[in-house]
Each structure stands twice: as C-alpha cells, then as structure tokens.
Amino acid sequence: MSDEHRFRSSFSFNPEVDVPAAVYVSQLWLYSLAVLYPAQALKRMALFAKTSLGRYPTLSRLRGEGQCYCREYSQSVLLDRTSEHAESVSEFDRGADLYERVVLPFTRPVHEEAFTLVRRLLPPAARILDLSCGPGTELFRLAELVPDGEVVGIDLSAEMVAAAHAGARQRGLRNTAFFQADVASLPAHFAGRFDAVHCSFAFHHYQNPFAALSEMHRVLNRHGKAFVIDGGTRWANVLSAPFAKWADPGWVAFHTGEQFERLFLNAGFSAFYWEEVLPGIGMCVGSK
C-alpha cells in the first residue's frame, strides 16, 4: 500500500468530525507528501542542505543506566490527584485510539531522520525518559534502540498512558514502564537517573517551557542529553502557527532554534545543538 493510500484510508468522512482538526490534519498530510518525503529522499542522496546551530554533541562512551523501572513497575503508575493542567489534555484522552493513525504519516519521516542522530549518541543500555509519549508511537522505536536499557514513558493523559502500555505489551517490549505525570512536575525519584530525555512534537503544548526544560535537566545524569523534536524554522513556524492555534488542542507556541537555545541554556544545560532534520522541523540536543 502506498503512503498516499494509507493517508486517505486513515481518515474517512464523518459528519460529526471536528472541522478545524480535519483541515489541520489534511495540511500535515499534504506537507508530508509534498515536502517531507521528497526532502528525505534528497537527504539520503546527500542533496539536502541542512541548517544547524551550535556545536555537534560529543559521542557518549558510557555504558548507560540499564534497566530498573521496567522491572519494578509492570503496571502503569497513575496520578493520585488531578493535575492543574489536566483540562488541557481532555481532547487527547478522547482521541487516544485515533492519535497514531492520524499523526503517524506526518511524523514517520521526521523520526526516521532524527533517530539516526539519537542512535549515534546513546549506548544500547541507555535509560530514556519519553515525555508526552502519547500512545507510544515513538516510544516503541526507542525501546528497540536500547535493548539493554529501557524507556520510561510519561503523559498527562491517562488514556494515552493506557494505550502506550497496552501497545508495548502487544509488541512484547518488556524494557518499558509508564507513568502519568506532568512534564513540569516529574516524580521526585526520577532525579539524575536518566541518560536521555526524548520529547517529540509535544513541546509546543507546554504552557511553561522553562519549567519543562528545568525538569528535563533535573532528571538527567551528569552526562545526560535532552532531545526535543518540534517546529524550529522561522518560516515554517509563521506559516503553521495560525492553523495550529485554530485547530490543535492545547497548542501554545512554536519556537525557533535560537529561542530553543536560550531556553535550554537558561534551564541549566551546558551545551546546545539544533539541526533542521527535514524542512521546517528541528531537533534540539541539550547536554547537561
């Protein structure tokens, strides 16, 4: 089945569909077909002129933190109280089952490129914290990258956590664990215990980006790295922000590479690197 056919079959007309969301999704799919997949092909032929900011991060020769949470927590850990940001995830609770089908055609080429960089920088025994993991779309691939390590997924949506946990079990991924948590207030026992933090296409939903980055910094070990994938070029942010504001539940703001750099350094990271992995999409790497 072609990518275009998958795109069309993933979304069928429904008289009760959210029109702004439908328009926004169609724009994402169109951008994928017209820009992202062709650019990915050019990149593999070394014909993609990428832009970057900062110094390329040093390769890690550490063994990694290994497995811990996946052995201790076989069931998802849910909050025993309501988060102050719970209202912002209500739409994601209702859409947990559809999220992967709707978003995957857009995110797939981005993550194929971004994970190439992640794979270079992390050992097979790395312990990764996946922020706003959703139904686990990227978490499952991260878990395959670190067979001797583990991936801990967190999301503020209880339905997303449940979907991710079920998906991991269906795939036989035993090096995973799941927590319901707010990115601005992660569990205290996470402090200094992760080799990496991964955050994909979620940062633009964070109401307090500095708090989120400060928490990323807190949970990393002394050689840890934070990977953030999101919009990042000024032209793409200007074009996409009106659609996101209109249709994306919980959208707050996109950030340029320069804005990300200031946020990372102010949150305590010692080094920062940003790369345009595909047109309009950037990946940040913050080193503790």
Q: Categorise residue 132: left if φ over 0, alpha if ψ from -120 to 50, beta otherwise.
A: left
pLDDT band at 75 (very low <50, low <70, confident <90, very high): very high
188-246 tens-digit pLDDT: 999 999 999 999 999 999 999 999 999 999 999 999 999 999 987 888 888 777 777 77
- For domain 3-9+17-55+62-287, give its CATH number from 1.20.80.30, 1.10.1040.10, 3.40.50.150, 3.40.50.1980: 3.40.50.150
- Give the DSSP H or E segment for 223: strand 220-231
Give 13 or 31, the one with higher predicted confidence: 31
What share of the chain has pLDDT > 90, as a percent? 57
Q: Is the pLDDT of residue 28 over 90?
A: no
Q: Kindly tell me the sign of the dihedral angle through the C-alpha atoms of 57, 155, 151, 102.
A: negative
Whether 131 and 183 have beta carbons less than 8 Å apart is answered as yes
The Cα 185–Cα 215 span in angstroms is 7
3-state helix, strand, coil in the chain (%, to 5): 45, 20, 35
pTM for the whole thing? 0.84
pLDDT in tens, 141-154: 999 999 999 999 99
Residue ranges covered by each domain of the chain: 3-9+17-55+62-287
Q: What is the pLDDT of residue 89?
A: 53
pLDDT single digits (tens) 81-125: 665 555 555 555 444 455 666 677 778 899 999 999 899 999 999
Q: What pLDDT, on a 0 to 100 scale, did the predictor assign at position 247?
A: 67
| Ranges 65-69, 87-91, 178-182: which has the least confidence | 87-91
d(CA 135, CA 171): 13
**CA 245, CA 265: separation in Å to the nearest integer?**
27
Q: Does residue 48 carry a pLDDT above 90?
A: no
CA pair distance 1, 142, nearest whole angstrom = 25
Provide the percentage of residues in the chain whose pLDDT is more than 70. 82
